[in-house]
Amino acid sequence: MKHILLYACWLLTLTHVSFGQKVISITIDGTINPVAADYVHNSIKKAADVKAECLLIHLNTPGGLLQSTRTIVSNMLESPVPVIVYIAPAGAHAGSAGVFITLAAHIAAMAPGTNIGAAHPVSLQGGMDTVMNEKATNDAAAFIITIAQKRQRNFQWAEDAVRKSLSITETEAVNTKVVDLLAKNDRELLALVDGKSIEVSTGTKTLHTKNASVETIEMGFFEKILNIISDPNIAYILFMLGVYGLIFELYSPGAIFPGIIGVIALILAFYTMQALPINYAGLALIIFAVILFLLEVKIVSHGLLAIGGTISLLLGSMMLIRSDSSLEFIKLSMSVVIPCVVVTACFFLFIIGMGLKAQRQKTVTGSNAMIGKTGVSIEMLNPLGRVMLQGEIWNAASLSGPIDKDEKIRVVSIEHLQLQVESFDS
């Protein structure tokens, strides 16, 4: 009986160890930005709160922002729970900032058909000069070597990835000790790391992940929205929509809707831009372009202001995002910039121009429409009398002296339903 009870206790213990453990899983599929950094930070905190065995990060990124990358790396290095970065699924890539994040993990893994590398400093909105390029390269190299040495990985390859833009496959990465292992899927990965002892900020932790349950944490609705608009191309489009909305409101006071949409779009654009490396010279050129377009519809320049505005808008858009950091992989797509420039030029030249021309046209309805019209006096005006105007008889007062009967007159103004007229020949 005693042996049976001991055996039962042993089975209960095994069951608890095998099935009572939890793994928190998240996915980063896109650029590294402040939203992604908050996502990782909150996930690490959640994993620590529920005493999870580890945090599993599925990574597929071309790179991202410097500050966000440093934030993620710092959180991973100080994490109280083991962090596993898994470059997956097949076809995924960890480039630029993704290399730093992968090397900072306690355990780095890759799926078949993936690759890692190409972390060389880049400038996507104009080349950096030699001095700035060397400084950015040295800074990135020092940063990645520190991470690789901390995790006891191939720091020589890590440095070459920065200085020589090296990129390798999953097999090469495992053979050169850039990453720890290769796994086909999550379950195989968790089985492979089961029993490993990991040094975390609070001490040593042994993983029990073979039969652990996996809880997936996804971004919330608002986080997904913010993640979408963190794309510099989306921020640029929102900025231009905000400009359109405010212009519509200024030229049609009381419309309300365009103004509301414009303000919301500008606020969202500025939210994104405050995290991006904005070139304020580029932003100034865009604002200057808007001013030139507005002047074009008010001043006769024979298209010179419009041409200047189009050139200013194009140059400002190309200069708007200035990436001079080795970790930042962000740019404005020309397939977005060119249509926006064309649409904006047409918007100001045609739509607003036609609206202003319509406002300058003479009134065609109401009493003011009668000013300048001609008629005939049906009796002598000295100075009062009556005239025939557009088939109607009106009381009139002459402003140019006596007017004989049947003489042609011209309307000068209207006062209290009385026409103020003058002789047509005067």
Proportion of the chain in helix, strand, coil states, percent, rounded to 5: 50, 20, 30
Are 286 and 317 in contact by the 8 Å Cβ rule? The answer is yes
Helix (H), strand (E) counts: the chain: 15, 16
**Angstrom distance (rounded) from CA 260 to CA 101:** 40
Structure tokens at 256: 């309300």
For 314, list phi and psi in degrees, rounded to 5. Answer: -65, -45
Q: What is the DSSP string of 69-100?
A: HHHHHHHHHT-SS-EEEEE-STT-EEETHHHH
- Measured CA to CA, the distance from residue 337 to residue 346 in angstroms comes to 14
pLDDT at 234: 87
Q: What confidence score (pLDDT) does residue 153 get?
A: 94
Q: What is residue 365's predicted lDDT score, i.e. its pLDDT?
A: 55
> Which pLDDT belongs to residue 22?
92
Are the C-beta atoms of residues 51 and 21 closer than 8 Å to each other?
no
For residue 89, with 0-12 CB atoms within 10 Å meaning exposed, 13-18 middle and 19 or more buried, which class applies?
middle
Q: Which residue has the tokens 């608002």?
A: 222
Residue of 338, 308, 126 whose CA lies nearest to 233: 338
| CATH numeric code, 2-220 | 3.90.226.10
- pLDDT at position 360, please? 58
Question: Mean pLDDT in each 10-residue stretch from start to end of the chain (426 residues)?
Answer: 50 46 93 91 94 95 86 94 95 91 96 84 45 72 91 92 87 94 94 93 91 91 84 87 80 77 89 79 87 74 78 87 58 82 77 61 62 88 88 88 88 86 82
Cα distance between residue 68 and residue 385, in whole Å: 84
Instruction: Delimit the domains of the chain by residue range.
Output: 2-220, 231-360, 367-423
- Prior bond to 383 cis, omega within 30? yes
CA distance to 237, 240, 260, 346, per residue, from 265 (Å): 9, 8, 9, 21
Quote the pLDDT of residue 116: 94
Q: Is the dihedral of CA 143, 146, 151, 154 positive or negative?
A: positive
The CA distance from 122 to 126, in Å, is: 9
Predicted TM-score (pTM) of the model is 0.70
pLDDT attached to residue 133: 63
Determine the pLDDT at residue 126.
Answer: 41
Tokens 């904005």 correspond to what residue?
Answer: 278
Domain 367-423: give its CATH architecture.
Beta Barrel (2.40)
User: What secondary structure does DSSP assign to 390-406, as a single string?
Assistant: TTEEEEEEESSS-B-TT
Measure CA of the first residue to CA of the last residue in the chain; give whole Å.
Answer: 131
CATH topology match: 2-220 vs 367-423:
no
DSSP code at position 328 = B
Which two tokens mark 259? 């103004």
Distance CA 356, CA 1 (A): 99
